[in-house]
Amino acid sequence: MTGVPVAPTGPHTAAVKAAIEARGVLVGRGEIPPGGGWQSEPGASAYVPYVVLWPSPGDSSEASLAEPYGYLDYKFQVTAYASTQEGVETVMDQVRAALVGVRLTVPNRSTYPVQLTLGRPTDRVDTVTPALHVGVAQFEMRSEAA
C-alpha cells in the first residue's frame, strides 16, 4: 500500500536552522546546541546565548483539488535563552532578521516569505540558579513543489 506524496518537513527545518546560524546564533533542534549556555560553573562563567528550534509536522489543509498535497504550511517555534533580558532581545533580533520576509531555500520546493505569527514577551526563569531569561517566537511559511 502506498501513501499520498507529502512534502517532508526535515529540509524545511534544516533551511530555518541554516538561516539563523548564518546570523551567528547557535541553534539546537529540540535541545541545547553544543557550545550554548554556561561554559563552566553557572553564574561564575560566561553564558553563550542560543536558540532551540521546535518544528511542527506541517499541514497541507489548504491545498488545491488538483494537487491536494502540493502545499506545505510549515510552522515552527524558536525559543531563545540568555543570562540577561537584553541578551534574549539581541538573539531574537538576529532570529527575526534571519527569517521574517525571507524566502528560504528548500530543495525541490518553492517557498513563500517567512512570517512571524507570535512573539511573546521575554520571561525570567527563577527556578534555576542563576536565573535565565527566555524569549519565544512562532513563525510559519508555505512551500509548494518547485
- State the pTM of this model: 0.91
Which string of b and e fits 12-44 if b means at least 16 CB within 10 Å? bbbbbbebbeeeebbbbeeeebeebbeeeeeee
pLDDT of residue 6: 74
Q: Which pLDDT value is given to residue 49?
A: 98
pLDDT of residue 67: 62
The predicted model gives 3-22 an average pLDDT of 89
Q: Residue 88 pLDDT > 80, yes or no?
A: yes
Does the pLDDT value for residue 110 go beyond 60?
Answer: yes
How far is residue 126's CA from residue 19's CA, in Å, rounded to a whole number?
Answer: 31
* All residues at 6 or more sequence positions from 103 whose CB lies less than 8 Å from its CB, including other chains: 111, 112, 113, 114
Residue 54 has pLDDT above 90, yes or no: yes
Which band of pLDDT confidence, cut at 50, 70 and 90, is reported for residue 46?
very high
- DSSP-assigned letters across all residues of the chain: --------SHHHHHHHHHHHHTTT-EEEESSPPTT-EESSSTTTS-EE-EEEEEE---B-TT--SSSTTSEEEEEEEEEEEESSHHHHHHHHHHHHHHHBT-----TTEEEPPBEEEEEPPPEEETTSSS-EEEEEEEEEEEEEE-
Please report the domains of the chain, with CATH numbers, ordered by start residue.
Answer: 10-145 (3.30.2000.30)
Residue 100 has pLDDT above 70, yes or no: yes
- With cell 541545547, the residue in question is 32
pLDDT in tens, 129-138: 999 999 999 9
pLDDT band at 23 (very low <50, low <70, confident <90, very high): very high
Residue pLDDT, tens place only, 68-80: 567 889 999 999 9
